[in-house]
């Protein structure tokens, strides 16, 4: 006896087996819908396959960027980052007014994560 999954079910294969008197059990694509043992199969389906969204090796990773609204700018010239840590004004901003810094932030549009 030959057994095979639904990928081998075709009229040509069935005819070949029948013409040669070869006993076979080959599933078809509707087999599970007819079999009562599979009536509740959907309730056992869990989360989607974790590999379904995996990117192929060599593909560039998405660059995620924080937006200015992700930061809280404080009166003491510090900024609170999204993770909750505080940052001070960098040396490159010395002598630059807060208004100018705000303009620079607005023009750049994003801050890299």
Q: Which of 31, 34, 32, 18 is nearest to 2 (CA)?
A: 18
Residue 113 has pLDDT above 50, yes or no: no
Residue 19 has pLDDT above 90, yes or no: yes
CB 97 within 8 A of CB 104: no
Which positions ≥6 away from 101 have C-beta within 8 Å?
89, 93
Whole-prediction pTM: 0.31
Average pLDDT of span 58-65: 76
Report the 10 Å Cβ neighbour count for 79.
17
More confident residue, 29 or 105: 29
pLDDT at position 92, please? 58
Strands 2-4 and 24-26: parallel
pLDDT at position 39, please? 75
Q: Report percent pLDDT > 90 for the chain.
A: 8
Average pLDDT of span 35-51: 71
Distance of alpha carbon 79 from alpha carbon 43, whole angstroms? 48
Residue 20 has pLDDT above 90, yes or no: yes
Residue 6 DSSP label: G
Which positions ≥6 away from 85 have C-beta within 8 Å?
none
pLDDT band at 91 (very low <50, low <70, confident <90, very high): low
Report the 10 Å Cβ neighbour count for 24.
15
């Amino acid at each position: 006896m030959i057994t095979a999954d639904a990928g081998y079910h075709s009229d040509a294969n069935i005819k070949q087996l029948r013409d040669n008197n070869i006993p076979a059990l080959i599933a078809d694509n509707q087999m599970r819908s007819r079999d009562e043992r599979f009536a509740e199969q959907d309730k056992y389906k869990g989360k989607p396959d974790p590999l379904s969204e995996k990117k192929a090796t060599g593909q560039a990773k998405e660059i995620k960027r924080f937006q200015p609204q992700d930061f809280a700018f404080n009166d003491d010239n510090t900024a609170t980052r999204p993770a909750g840590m505080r940052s001070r004004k960098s040396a490159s901003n010395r002598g630059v007014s807060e208004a100018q810094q705000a303009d620079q932030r607005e023009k750049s549009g994003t801050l890299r994560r």
